[in-house]
Structure 1
Amino acid sequence: MAREFTAQMSMRRGRWRLYVVLLNTPERWPEYGFGPAVPTFTERAEAFSVLGFEPVPGAEWTWTEDSENPDDPASPVVLIAAVRVRSRAGVGS
């Protein structure tokens, strides 16, 4: 059975990056970089494929607003998207 994880996408240094959160493991989190435009659904699906993951059937992206510096109300906003994913057959199972 494929393991499930949370994948997140955020902007860092002017570029979007997608990464799969692997908690309680020394493994490096799989990551994929994009350009400055918000990646399309198709681009995100292709990135998951490259990383060996796929969205869990029925999973929907959620967006959360955060700030670079939580103690400063004038701090720039950081958007973080998240979706549940699973490892594809034969990858990370």
Structure 2
Amino acid sequence: MTSRVLRAQITLRCCGTAIPERTAGPCWQLFVVMTGLVSDWPVFTWPTSPQVPTVGERAKSLASLGFTLAEDAEWEWCESTTSEFHSHPVQVELMAAAQIRPLDGGAA
């Protein structure tokens, strides 16, 4: 097992996504934050829904990308506001981050 610790972030994409696939409405995305280009980061997109993914759903999506939460890690939530350039009024957005590590034999 490696001792390499990385960070995962989930965020609600209020206007949908274009990468890696286009979605027609709000959806949650999980990113594994790594060095290099953002376009190369592992990403998991849940089906279109504003519902926050459960802890179990987050664990399953991390595993599908070859990662798991680091020992004693928890999801830390913060909120901010959406950018003013969106086509809708400014609104509160939630984001969460947690320390993660590659699974044994994982894709990382």
Higher share in strand: 1
Kindly provide the CA deviation profile for residues 21-49 of structure 1, in whole angstroms up to 9, marking residues without a partner as x: 113x2471111111312111111111011
Residue from 56, 59, 65 that aligns with 1:51: 65
* Alignment correspondent of 2:100: 85
Give, as a single letter, the amino acid of the residue that structure 1 aligns with 2:73. A
- Structure 1: runs of 5 or more not aligned: none
Q: Which moved more, 1:40-49 or 1:26-35?
A: 26-35
Q: CA RMSD in A?
A: 1.7
Count of aligned pairs: 88
Residue from 48, 63, 69 that aligns with 2:77: 63
* Alignment correspondent of 1:3: 4
Deviation of residue 85 (structure 1)? Answer: 0.3
Percent of aligned pairs sharing the same letter: 34
Task: Give the TM-score normalised by structure 1.
Answer: 0.83
Task: Give the TM-score normalised by structure 2.
Answer: 0.73
- Structure 2: runs of 5 or more not aligned: 17-25
Greater RCO (Cα-Cα under 8 Å, separation 6 or more): 1
